[in-house]
Amino acid sequence: MNKTDALIIGAGPTGLFTAHQLKLIGLDCEIVDNLDKIGGQCIELYPDKPIYDIPAVPECTGEELTNNLINQIKPFNIKTHLSERVDEVKKEGDNWFVKTNHGKIFLTPNVIIAGGVGSFEPRKFPVKECEKFENKSIYYSVKDKTVFEGKTVSIFGGGDSALDWAVELSKKSHVNLIHRREDFRGAQATVDKVHELAKSGKINLYTKYQLTNVVGENNLESIEIKHDSKEIKTIKTDFVLGFFGLIMQLGPIAEWGLNIDKKTVAVDTEKFETNQKGIYAVGDICSYPGKLKLILSGFHEGALAARACFKLARPNEKYRFEFTTSSKTIKDRLGVKSD
């Protein structure tokens, strides 16, 4: 059981800066994120894309912004729980009881949802029958590559994940690589390698094909793929891997008794509190009149939510506003020398 003054759900820019604000005013906090890395959409969707509207930063990429925010909270040693999705939030006395999909439990008076558009989950095949074989012979990520040794693996996708695994698995498995068009969007060196392996017969390449059916009783036996020209091919295969990137899904947040409309959570603009006392929403996931989905708005919202947390975390103390330029207490927290 982890006890903390505030639990932040989401390690994107808004979650990170909210953590900074909480620690600055002397509160503890911990961060949970479903991704295996810090940065949220900035890292997952556009690490290399330049952003031009962060105040006082003329230009930076999603990755640079994330790294700067990580540096900014470094002095605070904040505990971050990655690859954990918060599944359950329920009231327990004056606290919120929070449980993740892997069974981590938190007890806290304040929960700050900085969840963007929800948690990232793998995109799946549109073919309904695939569900039957999911995690048995159809996978959307590779946890143990040894299960594929000596088997036939059909890989779908045209990005780095699909290409990297096609190259890697072709060493010890029969690999089919299937993609909806002729161009691949992976790194050029990997694309070249794939074509080379296809030429030498190590990879069977099927372009302009998409999955239309999967066949098998208990075990997957074959798949049907359809060409742009409508021609259908049946391929015997033991495993199917799909790499179509990640999709954001609101997920369990919908079940916590919050006011949700169009995948966003209604909040007030004083504390950024939801209809549940002690649960706040900041960043892209919150909505209020005039809401702008900008990173800078998330920073503002997080700063105010952090102050609101103080009241519930320290009911017997009064929060006093201080500037980082002049407060000795704040400088001590940051570990910098006072003048």
Partner 1 sequence: MAKINYVTHDNQIYSVDVQNGLTVMEGAVQNDVPGIDADCGGGMACATCHVYISDDWFDKLPSKDDGEEDMLDMAFEPKKNSRLSCQITISDELDGLIVNIPSKQS
Contact 242, 156 (CB under 8 A): yes
Helices (H), strands (E): how many in the chain?
A: 8, 24
In the bound state with partner 1, the residue whose beta carbon lies nearer, of 28 and 121, is 121
Touching partner 1, residues 59-98 (CB under 8 A): none
Single out the residue of 26, 107, 134, 159 in contact with partner 1 (rule: CB under 8 A): 159
| Contact code string over 295-314 relative to partner 1, x by CB under 8 A | --------------------
Contact 282, 302 (CB under 8 A): yes
| Contact code string over 183-212 relative to partner 1, x by CB under 8 A | x-x------------------------x--
Q: Where are the alpha helices (DSSP H) in the chain?
A: 13-24, 41-44, 62-73, 130-133, 160-169, 188-199, 295-313, 328-334
User: Does residue 101 touch partner 1 according to CB under 8 A?
Assistant: no
Q: Which residues of 88-113 are buried (b: 16+ CB within 10 A; e: fewer)?
A: ebeeeeebbebbbeeeeebbbbbbbb
Question: Of the listed pieces 84-92, 177-185, 217-225, 268-276, which binds partner 1 according to CB under 8 A?
Answer: 177-185
Least distance from partner 1 to the Cβ atom of residue 270, Å: 25
Single out the residue of 293, 300, 311, 314 in contact with partner 1 (rule: CB under 8 A): 293
Count CA atoms closer than 13 A to 256's CA, side-chain side.
29
- Nearest residue to 139 (alpha-carbon basis) of 77, 220, 58, 258: 220
Cα–Cα distance for residue pair 317/211, rounded to 1 Å: 61
Least distance from partner 1 to the Cβ atom of residue 264, Å: 11
Single out the residue of 18, 41, 137, 161 in contact with partner 1 (rule: CB under 8 A): 41
Cα separation values, 257 from 88, 90, 260, Å: 11, 9, 9
Biggest CA pair distance of the chain: 76
**Residue type present at position 93:** G
Question: Of the listed pieces 38-46, 75-83, 191-199, 215-223, which binds partner 1 according to CB under 8 A?
Answer: 38-46
Contact 211, 125 (CB under 8 A): yes
User: Does residue 226 touch partner 1 according to CB under 8 A?
Assistant: no
Cα–Cα distance for residue pair 336/339, rounded to 1 Å: 10
Touching partner 1, residues 249-288 (CB under 8 A): 249, 263, 284
User: Does residue 50 touch partner 1 according to CB under 8 A?
Assistant: no
User: Does residue 5 touch partner 1 according to CB under 8 A?
Assistant: no
Single out the residue of 74, 79, 181, 328 in contact with partner 1 (rule: CB under 8 A): 181
Question: Of the listed pieces 143-151, 242-250, 270-278, 299-307, which binds partner 1 according to CB under 8 A?
Answer: 242-250
Say how many residues touch partner 1, by CB under 8 A: 25
| Contact code string over 114-143 relative to partner 1, x by CB under 8 A | ---x-----x--x-----------------
Enumerate binding residues for partner 1 (CB under 8 A).
Answer: 41, 45-46, 49, 117, 123, 126, 157-159, 179-181, 183, 185, 210, 228, 244-245, 247-249, 263, 284, 293
